[in-house]
Amino acid sequence: MSAQIIDGKAIAAKVRDRVADGVASIKAAHNYSPGLATVLVGEDPASATYVRSKQKMCENLGIRSIGHHLAADTPQADVQALVASLNSDPEVNGILVQLPLPKHIDEETILNSIDLTKDIDGFHPVNIGRLAMKGRNPLFIPCTPAGCMVLLEEAGVNLRGAEAVIVGRSNIVGLPMAMLLQKADATVTICHSRTKDLREHLQRADIVVAAIGRAEMITGDMLKPGTAVIDVGINRVDDATTKKGYRLVGDVHYESALAVAGAITPVPGGVGPMTIAMLMQNTLRAAEMAVAGRP
Ligand code: GUN
């Protein structure tokens, strides 16, 4: 039997519709539009593309987008000064510093300096710490893992007591995803490049989150029948039959996994659209907190 395909495009559209409604309500009540500041340092083409799509989505939803593009050799102090000025700007509700930053800039210092109430990426250590701890809640949850949780919920996947295996331990996806699933009462295993027997872990997983950044590394034969697969990977592979000469694939080999899994996200059209939708939701939440005058 073929798996249920989790339609990230459709689910993200629902999230965005709710955000657009929220933006309209704030505008009507306070004559104020939420504002998202983006900070891009350097010329990395993938980062530039991501930032452009975030700005475009802001426009579509009535969120003001304030773009800052700094040269690759901008000194650390200048990036910090920009964040400080955005922190104190009442027109800015959310601050997004696109990662990765150039090597000479200390990412930790920059992320630490973002005002907690404007940390719409949820990367500030206080927000991450709250996410990790029992009985505490962060102001914002990182967008990609938050989107994965919505996809699991919309697909009707039971999380309580489920065996969840996360492949990848990045600060942006793997780690916060593990914390979210644990908070939702799943039993969580984090696998990574040094894991001895990935297949063994995957074979008992009710939920697999693939976020390792290696094209089609997880194949159907590695999965337990009926498992729910969330594929965070977006990898380019050469394909001379396409116009662009490449196509996008996930970290999971889709065709073989489709035949085994109970539910699966496609690439593209799965997790990708959710990340931006959740960023918009976080920005709306920051604006709602700002107009309510409290964190
Ligand atoms: N780089 C890759 N993903 C992200 C993200 O979600 N937020 C930021 N700020 N940078 C990223």
Residues 181 and 61 occupy one common structural domain: no
Please give the full DSSP string across 139-183, using - where no structure is assigned: S---HHHHHHHHHHHHTT---TT-EEEEE---TTTHHHHHHHHHH
Residues 69 and 171 occupy one common structural domain: no
The first and second tokens of residue 208, run together, are 């697999």
Residue 65 placed within a domain:
yes
DSSP 8-state code for residue 101? P
Q: Would you say the CB of residue 274 lies under 6 angstroms from ligand 1?
A: no
The SS3 assignment for 272 reads helix
User: CA 171 to CA 50: how far, in whole Å?
Assistant: 18
User: CA 264 to CA 7: how far, in whole Å?
Assistant: 9
Active-site positions? 54, 98, 121
Residues 93 and 178 occupy one common structural domain: no
Residue 161 placed within a domain:
yes
* pLDDT of 294 above 70: no
Residues 101 and 165 occupy one common structural domain: no
Q: Would you say the CB of residue 37 lies under 6 angstroms from ligand 1?
A: no
b/e sequence 150-164, b meaning 16+ C-beta within 10 Å: bbbebbebebeebbb
- Answer whether 276's CB lies under 8 Å from 237's CB: no
Q: Whose CA is nearest to atom 2 of ligand 1?
A: 99
Q: Whose CA is nearest to atom 4 of ligand 1?
A: 99
Share of the chain above pLDDT 70, in %: 99
User: CA 122 to CA 97: how far, in whole Å?
Assistant: 11
pLDDT band, very low/low/confident/very high, at 1 (cuts 50, 70, 90): low
Give 47 Cα–ligand 1 centroid separation in angstroms.
Answer: 8
Residues 109 and 156 occupy one common structural domain: no
Q: The domain spanning residue 76 has which CATH number? A: 3.40.50.10860
b/e sequence 172-188, b meaning 16+ C-beta within 10 Å: bbbbbbbbbbbbbebbb
Q: Whose CA is nearest to atom 11 of ligand 1?
A: 99
What is the distance of C-alpha 39 from the center of its chain? 17
The whole-chain average pLDDT of the chain stands at 97
Site to substitute for ligand 1 among 39, 68, 99, 274, most atoms within 8 A of C-beta: 99
What is the pLDDT, as a whole number, of residue 293? 75
DSSP 8-state code for residue 218? B
pTM for this prediction:
0.97
What is the pLDDT, as a whole number, of residue 295? 54
Of all atoms in ligand 1, which is nearest to the CA of residue 144?
6
Give 99 Cα–ligand 1 centroid separation in angstroms.
Answer: 5
Give 97 Cα–ligand 1 centroid separation in angstroms.
Answer: 8
Residues 61 and 98 occupy one common structural domain: yes
Residues 154 and 262 occupy one common structural domain: yes
Averaged pLDDT for residues 94-101: 98
Averaged pLDDT for residues 36-65: 97
Residues 238 and 162 occupy one common structural domain: yes
Q: Which of 115, 130, 165 is the last residue of a domain?
A: 115
Q: How many domains does the chain have?
A: 2
Residues 181 and 95 occupy one common structural domain: no
Q: What is the dihedral of CA 16, 6, 256, 179, to 10 degrees?
A: 80
Per the structure, the complete domain to which residue 52 belongs is given by 32-115
The SS3 assignment for 5 reads strand
Q: The domain spanning residue 157 has which CATH number? A: 3.40.50.720
Q: Would you say the CB of residue 99 lies under 6 angstroms from ligand 1?
A: yes
Residues 242 and 147 occupy one common structural domain: yes
Q: Which of 80, 115, 150 is the last residue of a domain?
A: 115
Residues 171 and 246 occupy one common structural domain: yes
